[in-house]
């Protein structure tokens, strides 16, 4: 049995509306916030994704009762939470499940969570989480790959915490932990990402006293107890950005939404710089009208409100076709340029120097068999395939399925020629060697680097 692949036939202009799902990175952490109370929390606009399902399994392992009355609605009942031990098989595949350590410690006074390990885009340590939890009074010991944490006296104590780096996950872990701590916690140099704000808003709906979310200083006044709440996840700004790039790269006129335009300022600015017109459409949609020419631009990934690292591969795909050279500098993750080799197989001209990629625009890309190396790299290869001459076959869809809800159906809805193939005999004639290629790649992955468990 060979793994499924995506076949993308390039060169078709797109038109219409691309719907945006709830934000994966918000939903994952909103689900863990349900640990904080013994009532029921009801979360809507939760995307149906492999990563979200994995988070559900982790919560069930803790004893949280999970119901899904509708595909995008989750009801979480934390009244019978009993275990504070996260299963290694899932944490090793889903970094965000490590973030449960904060609410577990706050609610149960103990937590045993495996270190998440590295992933395809970098080492991704958790020392900022651990140091912050120690500041809140937790005893934390790492032994045999396991983080064992407990709270002497049973309740965390408010503290002033300075994060060396505005880590999204560390800010979320510590903010959740501090909601039930005794006294005031101040997190300085906190992450300002919209997903952090979304989590703060859910915690506030649960009764938490939080101020300053969305700035670099978050102040949490701990409560003895939180209560249940109903809450809707914000739209996924990375999915929306990916769709805007789909419009730009196919020189199309598309409407994308719902979105919160303020979450997308950096991406919109860069798309305008490359020559696209982007205007609001109604209250919460954006219309992109691509120009005939694509201009080069430089990009440096940064914490919010800077340009998001999760949009870097997609913008790189676009800039491969700009009239001139662009420099893309990745500052957030140390190993997030692995898609360069795959884009190059499609005819892109990209040179990597350290953490920078120099992208010299080419007149066109050519369809080719390519292998996705992580979630956002998968999106970049699909985008490249949409504009390439000929057919592109994207392999290793396990990454894509972690983070994009129904992406093929959504793209087909605006005219893209894209389909998932499980039988190699179904591949188009010009990809007749692809069945061989699918098998070869599976073997290479087995024999080569450890399987990437990219977790962004």
| Interface residue list for ligand UD1 (CB under 6 A) | 25, 28, 95-96, 122, 124-129, 165, 167-170, 195, 309-310, 332-333, 456
Distance, CA of 25 to chain centre:
5
Least Cβ distance, residue 456 to ligand UD1 (angstroms):
3
> What is the nearest approach in angstroms of ligand UD1 to the Cβ of residue 371?
21
Q: Name residues whose C-beta falls within 8 Å of residue 126's C-beta, 6 or more positions apart in sequence.
A: 98, 115, 116, 147, 169, 170
Q: To the nearest 10°, the Cα dihedral for 25, 399, 415, 10?
A: 130
Q: d(Cα 438, Cα 393) in Å, to the nearest integer?
A: 9
Which H or E run contains 220? strand 217-221
Which residue lies nearest ligand UD1, judged by its C-beta?
169
CB of 363: closest distance to ligand UD1 in angstroms?
32
- Enumerate the H helices of 158-207 as residue ranges: 168-179, 194-205
Q: Which is nearer to ligand UD1, 167 or 314 (CB)?
A: 167
Contacts (Cβ under 8 Å, ≥6 apart) of 321:
249, 294, 361, 362, 363, 364, 365, 387
Closer CB to ligand UD1, 169 or 367, in the complex: 169
**What is the token pair recorded at 158?**
């408010």
How far apart CA 320 and CA 27 sit, in angstroms, is 32
Residue among 125 and 451 whose Cβ is closer to ligand UD1: 125
Which of 108, 115 has the CB closer to ligand UD1? 115
DSSP assignment of 364-431 equals --B--EEE--SHHHHHHHHHHHHHSBSEEEEE-THHHHHH-TTHHHHHHHTT-EEEEESSGGGS-GGG
Question: Among residues 233 and 441, whose Cβ is nearest to ligand UD1?
Answer: 233
**Least distance from C-beta 119 to ligand UD1, angstroms?**
9
Q: Which is nearer to ligand UD1, 117 or 158 (CB)?
A: 117
Tokens of 316: 């790189």
337 by DSSP, 3-state: which? coil
CA distances 388 to 143, 270, 318, 348, 380, Å, are 50, 22, 11, 11, 12
Instruction: Quote the least distance from Cβ 115 to ligand UD1, whole Å.
Output: 11
Q: Considering the complex, what minimum distance in angstroms separates the CB of residue 174 from ligand UD1?
A: 11
Provide the terminal-to-terminal Cα distance of the chain, rounded to the nearest Å: 28
Closer residue to ligand UD1 in complex, CB, 109/303? 303
DSSP 8-state assignment for residue 124: -
DSSP state of 182: B
CA-CA distance, 414 to 386, in Å (whole number)?
A: 12
Query: What span, in angstroms and rounded, lies between the C-alpha atoms of 59 and 62?
Result: 5
Secondary structure element (H or E) that encloses residue 15, with its range: strand 15-19
Q: Closest approach of Cβ 77 to ligand UD1, in Å?
A: 24
Looking at the Cβ atoms of 169 and 241, the one nearer to ligand UD1 is 169
When the beta carbons of 126 and 340 are compared against ligand UD1, the nearer one is 126
Helix ranges (DSSP H) in 186-337: 194-205, 237-249, 265-273, 312-319
Query: Least separation, in Å, of the C-beta of 26 and ligand UD1?
Result: 8
Q: Are 196 and 166 in contact (CB under 8 A)?
A: no
For the question of residue 119 being annotated catalytic, the response is yes
Catalytic residue among 37, 41, 73, 119: 119
Which residues carry out catalysis?
119
């Amino acid at each position: 049995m060979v793994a499924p692949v995506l076949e993308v036939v390039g060169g078709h202009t797109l038109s219409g509306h691309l719907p945006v799902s709830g934000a994966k990175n918000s939903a994952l952490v909103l689900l863990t916030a349900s640990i904080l109370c013994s009532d029921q929390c009801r979360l809507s606009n939760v995307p149906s994704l492999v990563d979200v399902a994995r988070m559900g399994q982790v919560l069930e392992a803790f004893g949280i009762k999970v119901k899904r009355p509708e595909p995008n609605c989750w009801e979480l009942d934390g009244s019978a939470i009993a275990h504070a031990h996260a299963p290694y098989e899932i944490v090793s595949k889903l970094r965000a499940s490590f973030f449960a350590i904060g609410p577990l410690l706050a609610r149960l006074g103990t937590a045993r969570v495996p270190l998440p390990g590295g992933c395809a885009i970098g080492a991704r340590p958790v020392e900022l989480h651990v140091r912050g939890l120690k500041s809140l009074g937790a005893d934390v010991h790492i032994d045999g790959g396991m983080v064992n944490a407990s709270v002497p006296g049973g309740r965390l104590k408010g503290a002033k915490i300075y994060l060396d780096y505005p880590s999204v996950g560390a800010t979320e872990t510590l903010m959740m932990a501090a909601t039930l701590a005794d006294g005031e916690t101040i997190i300085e140099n906190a992450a300002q990402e919209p997903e952090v704000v979304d989590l703060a808003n859910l915690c506030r709906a649960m009764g938490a006293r939080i101020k300053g979310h969305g700035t670099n200083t978050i102040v949490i006044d701990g409560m003895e107890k939180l209560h249940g709440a109903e809450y809707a996840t914000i739209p996924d700004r990375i999915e929306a950005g990916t769709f805007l790039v789909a419009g730009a790269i196919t020189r199309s006129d598309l409407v994308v939404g719902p979105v919160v335009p303020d979450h997308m300022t950096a991406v919109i600015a860069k798309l305008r710089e490359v020559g696209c017109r982007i205007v609001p459409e109604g209250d919460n949609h954006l219309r992109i009208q691509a120009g005939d020419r694509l201009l080069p631009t430089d990009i440096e990934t940064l914490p919010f409100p800077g340009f998001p690292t999760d949009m870097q591969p997609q913008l790189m795909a676009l800039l491969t076709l700009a009239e001139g050279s662009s420099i893309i500098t990745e500052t957030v993750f140390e190993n997030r340029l692995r898609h360069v080799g795959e884009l190059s197989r499609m005819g892109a001209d990209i040179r990597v120097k350290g953490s920078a990629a120099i992208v010299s625009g080419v007149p066109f890309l050519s369809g080719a068999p390519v292998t996705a190396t992580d979630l956002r790299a998968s999106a970049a290869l699909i985008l490249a395939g949409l504009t390439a001459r000929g057919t592109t076959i994207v392999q290793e869809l396990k990454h894509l399925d972690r983070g994009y809800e129904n992406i093929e159906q959504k793209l087909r809805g605006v005219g893209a020629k894209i389909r998932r193939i499980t039988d190699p005999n179904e591949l188009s004639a010009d990809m007749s060697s692809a069945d061989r290629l699918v098998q070869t790649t599976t073997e290479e992955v087995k024999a080569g680097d450890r399987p990437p468990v990219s977790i962004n």
